[in-house]
Structure 1
Amino acid sequence: MNNLTVVNNVTLPELPNTILPAIAELTKALGIPRDTLASQDEIQYAWRDLPRELKEIPENLRDNLIARMCVAVSAGLFDGAMNYIWNSAILQLRQKIRNFGLPVVAQIQQNNFEEKQLIELQDSRLLDLCLKLNIIDEDGFFFLDQCRNVRNNFSAAHPTMGTVNDREFVTFLNRCVRYALADSSSPRGVNISSFISAVKGPRFNNDQCQIWIQRLAETHDAQRQLLINMVHGIYCDSAMAQPARLNSIDICNGLKSSFTSSIKSDLINSHSDYVAKGLQDKHTASLQFFESLGLISLLNESEQHSIFSKAIERLWNTHNGMNNFYNEPPLAERLLEITQQGAVPETIQDNFVQTVMCCRIGNGYGISNAALHFYNEIIRGFSPREIAILIRAAGEPNSTLGRRISVGALCRRNLKTALELIDSASIPSSIKADYERLTR
């Protein structure tokens, strides 16, 4: 071995030549067998493995407990060393809970939780709380709880059931470092009452919105799930002011890419509860919530049908109303956004296809140029079934689209242009002949 073992900016010296012989002399003087204590090989192996573990501990956490652990290892007192590293791990877990926020923990626990309660918390309860707050994951909880049992039964903290060797100690050390000490970061909790007050307050400006999105992104999964479900409830509350509902959507839009399956499940359960309880106003608002977030694919088919049906009806009524060329674009854009969230339900495909195509080919006076891009994008995304509906409707004189085509040459030219947007690979073989006839 080299004279010095380097660990970042920490150096561990070679074991002094006096330590190992002194242990042998001590046991001899006391009249006890040398193998009562750790052997020379065990001490040397444990000392050799220390740097690999110590380098994972942040410098600010290499304190007097870590130093005492090293001294205990050098003397073969693995039971004492286990106690020092365990105490260091427990202190760090407590600090992570402080960083999370004791008032927030109290809100989550629905009970008083101050510094006194944190200090008095038994190690087993502390691990339970860290798991609940996502400070440690399930793997970390399992291994640290295992360490807790080993520490209680084999360390110097209590009368022991037996001894541990160098390999068992290094494994214990590795788990304390890996799951408690190595990662000095910790999730920071969100003050629930402050968050809800902010959402229900005036309209967020961009900076304010981004701060709350960041805070929710940095908190643990369980609290984020709880708060997202809360803002869904705020959005669906008809008594709530519009700024609060818009704030709710802004928060969810900022986080939706990280929605877990649990969050989505909670939202669907709340949505279903509105239906089950006959809360029609909240159910309608909840449909708007899912639509605004681009999550209508999570809804059942009848609810998806309802959303598409309303969007199609609004577009068709506007297309047939006054100033349609100016009023169509936002409704056409919204219908495109909905189609990009998932497949159009089969129950509404016929109405969907004919409405889009009638708007795209115009009414004899022309088309809405500002809406043209949206119609073209929708047509490019037609499924084979929707293409078949289009071709058949164009060939039926009594269909809405068929009657529109019979109006004049302009509509027929626009139909040909629209049909050319479709990828030939998507055209079902059963209607290819009709497609080719219409595009000639």
Structure 2
Amino acid sequence: MPDIVVRENVELPSLPSTVLPALTELTTSLGIPRNVLASDEEIEYAWRDLPRELREIPADLRGELVARMCVAVSSGLFDGAMNYIWNAAILHLRQKIRNFGLAVVAQIRQGGFEEKNLLELQDSRLLELCLKLNIIDEDGYFFLDQCRDVRNNFSAAHPTMGTVNDREFTTFLNRCVRYALADSSSPRGVEISSFISAVKGARFNEHQCQVWTQRLNDTHDAQRQLLVSMAHGIYCDAATSEPARLNALDICLGLKDTLTNSIKSELINSHTEYVAKGQEDKHTASLQFFEKLGYLGLLNESEQHAVFSKATTRLWHVHNGTNNFYNEPPFAERLLELTQQGAIPETMQEVLVHVVACCAVGNGYGVSNAAVPYYNRIIEAFSPREIATLVRLAMNRNSDLGRRLSYSPAARSRLKQALELFDPSSIPSGVKTDYDTLTR
């Protein structure tokens, strides 16, 4: 659960009655018009709006520059106030980059990046880097870049093109606060070399897995995408040890619920690249990766067909082999896991229904009792089309299922129990008569 940030109201003192008259006296004594400074009304409105913005700044960030900004506002020096709050925002963004990790930034930029480089970075480049690191989002980048332009042309930092009034200053302040200063948290980068070293090391214990999963959760989307793709590549590499493959898979399983569509798309691209390059060993491993993550539905139907076909064929061979009652459960469980990931490919529906139904009713010696719960869960999730296929196979005396039902009252009883798992509203009208016959 994220921490709840409590904002404290900021109580500013009323403007002393001497401040505004003093501004008039000052301009008069210098022999310049009063309107070269903000008017009394503008100062009063800007001062009135300050507490609303200041309360959004965490207390530890209301430092010297924020205090100077307030003093500048009280004197009508909005150009100076803009410069102070902009500098506060820039300093905070720099600190967020330090928190992210200068070494990690260097890895991402594929070039050296030290404290000196950070300090020398122009504001425009700093904003671009913050966007890349996900320290600010696209909205924040857009509005802060506008503020940068306003600051360069209308603040005391440079000779100005004109002046800003209280409303323009308050808008500037709001954007600096909202997109830079209001959030004191910042993502922490992951050192890529350390990540690879850890994954390729000894088998993770539960605590290690949690730590690395959290680190990937805490970093920004772009780096998370890079690291998940690396984990996928490690898993699919034939030269990778089994502990490393399991480490890579565990991290991805820990992130499964937070993976964005962009990350999933990158995984699919890597998977299809294995196919295009004819890398069968990596392609096979990638299929297993998608299956373990429950992402088979992301693959095209031909690849889904291949996975379902292999699992169904293996179950059928085990069912027809020796010690089938003992050997069937793990193969039945795997097929159940596949069917729970999405719809059964249309090209596999009849074969899968046939195999599961035959296994569920058993052979002349009985049924694998430990596997029956898996068969029942597969059957009760059948679509109306798959229900119709099951009924037609059961009524066809020339099918394996039909022959078993003809010779064995126990098989007919088991089929009746399986058919009663269906909701009556799911029975297609075209097979309703035969369904009623089978369930009598």
Normalised by the size of structure 2, how large is the TM-score? Answer: 0.97
Q: Is the 8 A contact 2:9 2:51 kept in 1?
A: no
Instruction: String of CA shifts for 1:384-417, please: whole Å, max 9, x gaps.
Output: 1111111111111111211221231111111111
Distance in 2 of aligned mates of 1:113 and 1:168: 36
Amino acid at match of 2:221: D
- 1:285 lines up with 2:268 in the alignment: no
Q: Deviations over 1:139-188 (max 9, x none)?
A: 00000000000000000000000000000000000000000000000111
Counterpart of 1:129 in structure 2 is: 129
Aligned to 1:3: none
Is 2:77 the partner of 1:108? no
Long gaps (5+) in structure 2: 1-6
The 1-side partners of 2:155 and 2:400 are apart by 84
Q: 1: distance between equivalents of 2:215 and 2:195?
A: 10
3-state DSSP of counterpart to 2:392: helix
1:181-260 superposed matches below 5 A? 181-260=181-260
The residue number in structure 2 matching 1:92 is: 92
Shift of 1:50: 0.4
Aligned residues of 1:319 and 1:359 also touching (Cα < 8 A):
yes
Q: Which residue of 1 aligns with 2:4?
A: none
Cα distance change, pair 277–31 in 1 and its aligned pair in 2 (3 A)? same
| Rounded Cα–Cα distance in structure 1 between residues aligned with 2:42 and 2:294 | 61
Q: CA deviation at 1:220?
A: 0.4
1:83–1:157 Cα contact (<8 Å) kept:
yes
Q: Who is 1:80 aligned against?
A: 80
**Residue matched to 1:396:** 396
Greater displacement, 410-419 / 49-58: 410-419
CA distance in 1, matches of 2:317, 2:61: 68
- Report the counterpart of residue 328 of structure 1 in structure 2: 328
Question: Equivalent residue for 1:4?
Answer: none
TM-fit CA distance, 1:310: 0.5
1:52 is aligned to 52
Secondary structure in 2 matching 1:370: coil
User: Which residue does the alignment assign to 1:172?
Assistant: 172
CA distance in 1, matches of 2:91, 2:264: 36
In the alignment, residue 105 of structure 2 is paired with which amino acid? V
Once the two structures are superposed, what CA deviation does each residue of 1:270-303 show, in whole Å capped at 9, x if it has no partner?
0010111111111111111101111000000000
Give the deviation of 1:367 after TM superposition.
Answer: 1.1
Q: Is the 8 A contact 1:364 1:410 kept in 2?
A: no
The corresponding residue for 2:405 is 405
CA shift for structure 1 position 8: 3.2
Q: Percent identity?
A: 74
**Contact preservation (8 Å) 1:189, 1:219:** yes
Q: Distance in 2 between matches of 1:35 and 1:15?
A: 19
Which runs of 4 or more aligned residues in structure 1 lie more than 2 Å from their structure 2 counterparts after TM superposition? 7-11
Deviation at 1:242, TM superposition (A): 0.6
Is residue 312–residue 352 contact of structure 1 (8 Å, CA) maintained in 2? yes
- Give the CA deviation at 1:10: 4.8
Does the 8 A contact of 2:297 with 2:304 survive in 1? Answer: yes
- Partner residue of 1:414? 414
Cα offset, 1:11, TM superposition = 3.5
CA contact (8 A) 2:143 2:175 kept: yes
Shift of 1:9: 7.1
SS at 1:127 equivalent: helix
